[in-house]
Amino acid sequence: MNPFTWASARVQTRFRSWWHARLPRTDTQLLTHRNVFILPTRAGCLFASTLLVLLVASINYQLNLGYALTFVLAGSGLVSMQLTHDTLRGLTLHLRPVGPVHAGEAALLDVVLTSPDAARWGVGLRVHAASAATLSWTDVPAGGQATAQVSFAPKQRGRHDIPALTVESRFPLGLFRAWTVWRPAAQVLVYPRLESPSAPLPPTSAASDGPMASRHSSGTEFEGIRAYRRGDPLKMVVWKKAASAMETEGKLVSRDSSASAHQQLWLDWQSCGDLSAEERLSRLAAWVLAVDRSGADYGLRIPGVELTRGQGEAQRRASLEALALWT
């Protein structure tokens, strides 16, 4: 990269970040002529030069209808500028709450566009930093609502601001591009990246609290079978039935023990071997999901945080959030 482009790119980045920082963060944005911008597109410039050539031809050949053609196109072009701007102006953008995602996965942003008056055509949304090819197009009916989805994939765990979104339109003639940059106020919680392939669950440790431990040790009486769930220890699989199940394209079957429903397990920072902190968090997140699927009780121990045993939705959320926000 030559120094000039490097410098100009840098200035551009600085300018953009300064400008974006000025934009207030809000989850519901009304587009007015204060925040909708408009500039001619490359096609618009091409159109202007076409008009110039048509005009020169009309002058040189003294064609009055040539003048009429040139001016009717110029008039339509100028009107289209207003129409393009009107496509965005007056729209209300609203971001629906964004659910948590794992790092590396796409977070879907549901944006509701509301038009108080006329119908809007060809409104495109994208994450500001993404390429123009990722635009997701939608039409907004008159006096109604439409939903557009855009996605972005956060790379790091933690609580992230939603990136700035661009809403743009070139309707009707594509000679002008009207756009707005919108910084939603909402944040998205990003869980650690899931380890893949996931490591086997740690052995059920003899926990310090007596009654549960004793129940755990007696929990080897099998009370039946059930469908295999991801995370079941290999020794729980009923291998005798596996062969016939595979032939008929059936599923694997695991032994079910009364204990497995109450089996409790500590997902411990220490049991992850000698991995880096992020890798440990990834592994723990994968384990949390695996244990949650099996329906067992589990607790989480990471430096500075200890979640007591529990199960279900609430436990999973709490665990993953703890992993996401661990510092």
Partner 1 sequence: MDLTRAALPLPWRGWVRLPREARDTLFLLAVIGWTVLPHLSHLPLWCSMLTGSILVWRAWLALSNAALPSRWWLVAVLLLACGLTLWSHRTLVGRESGVTLVVVLMALKTLELRARRDAFVVFFLGFFLVLTQFFYSQSLLVAFAMLVSVWGLLTALVLAHMPVGQPALRQAAWLSARSALWGTPLMVLLFVLFPRIGPLWGVQQDRLGKTGLSSTMRMGSMAELAADESVAMRVRFLGTAPPPEALYFRGPVLAQFDGREWTPLPPSLVTSLQPLADLRTSGPSIAYEMTLEPQRIPLLPLLEAAPAAPEIDGYRVRVTEDLQWYTDQLVFERLRFTARAHLTFQHGPLRAVPGLQHYLELPFGANPRTLAWARAMRRQSRYAQADVQELAALVLQRISQGGYTYSLTPGVYGEDGGLDAVDEFWLDRKIGFCEHYAAAFVVVMRAFGVPARVVTGYQGADTARVEGYTIVRQSHAHAWAEYWRSGSGWLRTDPTAAVAPDRILRSRNLQPEPGLMASALGEFSPALLQRFRTSWEALNNRWNQWVLNYSQGQQFDLMKSIGFTSPSWHDLALLLIAVFCALSVTGAAWAWWEQRRQDPWIRQFAQARRALRTLGLSAQSHDPPRVLAERVRARFGEHGASLAELFYTMEQQHYGRKALNRPPASLTRALRLQARYLQVEAR
Write the interaction track for partner 1 spanning residues 127-166; mark x where CB under 8 A is met and - where it is not.
----------xxx---------------------------
Give the amino acid at 287: W
Residues 289/272, Cβ–Cβ less than 8 Å: no
Given candidates 77, 154, 163, 184, which one binds partner 1 under the rule CB under 8 A?
77
CA atoms within 13 A on the CB side of 140: 30
Closer of 49 and 244 to partner 1 (Cβ)? 49
- Does residue 47 touch partner 1 according to CB under 8 A? yes
Distance CA 189, CA 162 (A): 10
Given candidates 11, 46, 108, 206, which one binds partner 1 under the rule CB under 8 A?
46
Given candidates 14, 20, 33, 241, which one binds partner 1 under the rule CB under 8 A?
33
Return all residues near 111 (Cβ < 8 A) that are at least 6 apart.
93, 94, 95, 96, 125, 147, 148, 149, 150, 165
Among 248, 252, 288, residue whose Cα is nearest residue 269: 288
How far is C-alpha 311 from the chain's CA centre?
27
Taking the CB of residue 21, how many other CB atoms lie within 10 A of it?
A: 8
Residues 78/124, Cβ–Cβ less than 8 Å: no
- Does residue 76 touch partner 1 according to CB under 8 A? yes
Residues 212/271, Cβ–Cβ less than 8 Å: no
Q: Least separation, in Å, of the C-beta of 116 and partner 1? A: 11
Given candidates 100, 158, 172, 299, which one binds partner 1 under the rule CB under 8 A?
172
Given candidates 50, 156, 187, 218, which one binds partner 1 under the rule CB under 8 A?
50
State the angle between helix axes of 312-325 and 277-294 in degrees (0 to 180), rounded to the nearest 10. Answer: 180
Write the interaction track for partner 1 spanning residues 88-127; mark x where CB under 8 A is met and - where it is not.
---------------------------------xx-x---
Closer of 116 and 250 to partner 1 (Cβ)? 116
Kindly report the backbone phi and psi dihedral angles of residue 144, in degrees, each rounded to the nearest multiple of 5, phi listed first: -130, -165
Closer of 7 and 72 to partner 1 (Cβ)? 72
Binding site for partner 1 (CB under 8 A): 32-33, 42-43, 46-47, 50, 53-54, 56-69, 71-80, 83, 121-122, 124, 137-139, 170-174
